[in-house]
Amino acid sequence: MRILFLLLVFATSLMACRSGRDMAAVDPPPPPPVREPVVVDPEPEPEPEPEIPVVEEKFDFEREEDRVTQEVNRYFVILGSFRVHDNANRFKSALEQEGFTPVILLSETGFNRVSVDSYTSETDARQRVMQIRRSFPQYHDSWLLIRR
């Protein structure tokens, strides 16, 4: 009986410790995919055209020939404005060497305005100011004078 009891205990212990079946290895579920935020570059806003300063005033032409050729025009492209007449003349000479045909205008406020072009249309005058600013960076401060 003792042997039978030992045999029974031995058989039970073998069955209890035995793992006869291989358990299938279960992989953990994959982590959810990481969603990276999509960064959309905003459309670059077009740079606005720089504003063109405009002054409206009365003026006279320095030379009678200039008055005759430009009397009908109302819009003048100004590259320089000087209190001292000699400075305006020096600037006019420098502009002539650059290919411009400048004219000195004597304003009612006492300034000597150096104009390089004049137009009957404000749109044409504004386009010329922008063209000068692009082609001649040194004249980035050119502006528009409107004859009153």
Residue 46: what pLDDT? 74
Over pLDDT 70: what percentage of the chain?
85
Q: Are 124 and 117 in contact (CB under 8 A)?
A: no
Task: Name the DSSP class of 118.
Answer: E
What CATH number is associated with residue 97?
A: 3.30.70.1070
Mean pLDDT of 23-33: 76
**Which residue from 110, 16, 93 is spatially nearest to 102, judged by alpha carbons?**
93
**Per-residue pLDDT tens for 76-112?**
999 999 999 999 999 999 999 999 999 999 999 999 9
Quick check: is 36 in a domain?
no
Q: Could you tell me whether strands 143-147 and 103-107 are parallel, antiparallel, or unpaired per DSSP bridges?
A: unpaired
22 inside domain: no
Task: Answer yes or no: is 14 within a domain.
Answer: no
Asked whether residue 103 is assigned to any structural domain, the reply reads yes
Does residue 120 lie within any of the structural domains? yes
Q: What is the pLDDT of residues 59-80, one digit of tens each?
A: 999 999 999 999 999 999 999 9
Strand pairing partners for 60?
A: 106
Domain-located, residue 139: yes
Q: What is the mean pLDDT of residues 112-121?
A: 98
Establish if 24 belongs to a structural domain. Answer: no
Split at pLDDT 50, 70, 90, the class of 140 is very high
Arithmetic mean of pLDDT over the chain: 89
Q: Tokens 């006492």 correspond to what residue?
A: 110
Total of domains in the chain: 1
Question: Which pLDDT does position 147 carry in this prediction?
Answer: 97
Structural domain including 132 reads 63-147
Do 57 and 107 touch, CB atoms closer than 8 A? yes
Inside any domain, residue 93: yes
The pLDDT of residue 25: 67
Alpha-carbon distance of 23 to 7, in angstroms, equals 29
